[in-house]
Amino acid sequence: MSSPTLYISRLLPDPVMRAARRQFQLLNDPRDASPSWDTVKSGLRDADAAICTLTDRVDAALLAEATRLKILANYAVGYNNIDLAAATARGIVVTNTPDVLTDSTADLTWALLLAVARRVAEGDAYVRSGDWSGWAPTQMLGTDVTDKTLGIVGMGRIGQAVAQRATGFNMRIRYTSRTATALEGLPSQWEPRALPDLLQEADFVSLHVPLNSATHHLIGGRQLALMKPTAFLINTSRGPVIEEAALVDALLQRRLAGAGLDVFEQEPAFHPSLRELRQVVLLPHLGSATLATRVRMGMICLDNITAVFAGKPAPNQVSPA
Ligand code: DGY
């Protein structure tokens, strides 16, 4: 029996591409660039299985033509790019890549947190500019991280990994949970809070919620107004969780000390004022971007596809809420 046909929307790391070519009939020669919606549509139309990425909008119109498709493996833990209800209604299994990117995303969250607190990107630019004339007692003074309060919005796998790393900095942990009550199995000194209370209390607020209708613009003008003017906001989740224009206003008016952003509302575009603000650090959606993690994410996609064609449950199937 011939192996199932596979469409891969973007070029994945070499070990994943080699394994994909070994195990399946690859329908296309994926490139590094983001394919158009039409290209993804024709890819999915002809495939038994597909690997898509978070930059592919897989909507109901596209899925309507994917009549052969049995499984859509999303190369991400988040799957807001897929109309999950439409896929499920068509009997298409949708999977994601949880766990394997938890540590790399938590590490990057900390890279941003430390970078904004200690002005790392600004300092690097200063030295490179050639203007630095030497050490000075008042030069580029930042904010301490040790002994501060870290507020984690969304205490799932990544939120917990970010909190664990904070123990080395002796930080107080406050977190939101859906019920605002303590989550089982967490250290008792990590305290749950309702979102408004957490925003008022935290020196650093880090976002780790999935993007859906309940979390779209979860942090807007009203929420930012609750934060301390000395506080920093970090986002490695999804851009639309923050109302970007409201964040820019708060930063311009110094109602917030700074922000570390790995994700944006309309990626790859971002609010033009962010470019001018020295108190923000901007990254190009690098949360899971280590070679080992990106290889593991690809292998999980292939494992899920293999399971489905072996008649087994896909280990990482996601279902509509
Ligand atoms: C995810 O998996 O959702 C990440 O954003 C990918 O980098």
**Structural domain boundaries in the chain:** 5-99+290-309, 102-282
Mind listing the pLDDT tens digit of every residue in the chain (321 residues)?
A: 689 999 999 999 999 999 999 999 999 999 999 999 999 999 999 999 999 999 999 999 999 999 999 999 999 999 999 999 999 999 999 999 999 999 999 999 999 999 999 999 999 999 999 999 999 999 999 999 999 999 999 999 999 999 999 999 999 999 998 777 899 999 999 999 999 999 999 999 999 999 999 999 999 999 999 999 999 999 999 999 999 999 999 999 999 999 999 999 999 999 999 999 999 999 999 999 999 999 999 999 999 999 999 999 999 999 988
Supply the residue whose CA is at minimum distance from atom 2 of ligand 1. Answer: 76
Element (H, E) at 260: strand 258-261
CATH architecture of the region 5-99+290-309: 3-Layer(aba) Sandwich (3.40)
> What gap in Å lies between CA 38 and CA 34, rounded to an integer?
12
CA nearest to 265, candidates 294, 284, 244: 244
Which residues are CB-contacts of 116 (< 8 A; sequence separation ≥ 6)? 232, 234, 257, 258, 259, 260, 279, 280, 281
Instruction: Quickly tell me which residue has 């899920």 as its tokens.
Output: 304
Q: CB of 298 within 8 A of CB of 21? A: no
Q: Is 287 in the pocket of ligand 1 (CB under 6 A)?
A: yes
Q: Do 315 and 304 contact (CB within 8 A), yes or no?
A: yes
Respond yes or no on whether the N-terminal peptide bond of residue 268 is cis (omega within 30° of 0): yes
Separation between Cα atoms, residue 173 and residue 292, nearest integer Å: 29
Q: From ligand 1's centre to the CA of 139, what distance in Å?
A: 36
Task: Quote the CA–CA distance of 210 and 321 in Å, as a whole number.
Answer: 12
**In one letter, which amino acid is 301?**
C
How far apart CA 70 and CA 309 sit, in angstroms, is 9
Gap between the Cα atoms of 167 and 159, Å rounded? 13
Rounded to an integer, what distance in angstroms lies between the CA atom of residue 262 and that of residue 247? 14
Q: Match 């896909």 to its residue by tokens.
A: 314
In the block, residue with structure tokens 């994943």: 16
CB 104 near ligand 1, within 6 Å: no
Digit-coded pLDDT (tens) for 245-271? 999 999 999 999 999 999 999 999 999
Which of 56, 288, 293 gets mutated to test ligand 1 (max ligand atoms within 8 A of its CB)? 288
The upper half-sphere exposure of residue 211, i.e. CA atoms within 13 Å in the direction of its Cβ, equals 23
Q: Could you give the CA distance from residue 11 to residue 26 in angstroms, rounded to a whole number?
A: 12
**3-class secondary-structure state, position 96:** coil
> pLDDT by residue (tens digit) across 270-293?
999 999 999 999 999 999 999 999
CB 220 within 8 A of CB 243: yes
Q: Are 46 and 27 in contact (CB under 8 A)?
A: yes
CA of 78 to the centre of ligand 1 (A): 6
Q: Is 76 in the pocket of ligand 1 (CB under 6 A)?
A: yes
- What CATH architecture does domain 102-282 belong to? 3-Layer(aba) Sandwich (3.40)
Which pLDDT score, from 0 to 100, does residue 1 have? 65
Ligand 1 centroid from CA 77, angstroms:
5
Q: Does ligand 1 have an atom closer than 6 angstroms to the CB of 288? A: yes
Reduce the DSSP state of residue 110 to 3 states and report it: helix
Ligand 1: residue of 54, 100, 237 to mutate (most ligand atoms within 8 A of CB) is 54
Q: Is the CB of 258 under 6 A from ligand 1?
A: no
Q: Are 148 and 172 within 8 A, CB to CB?
A: yes
How many angstroms separate the CA atoms of 291 and 14, rounded?
10
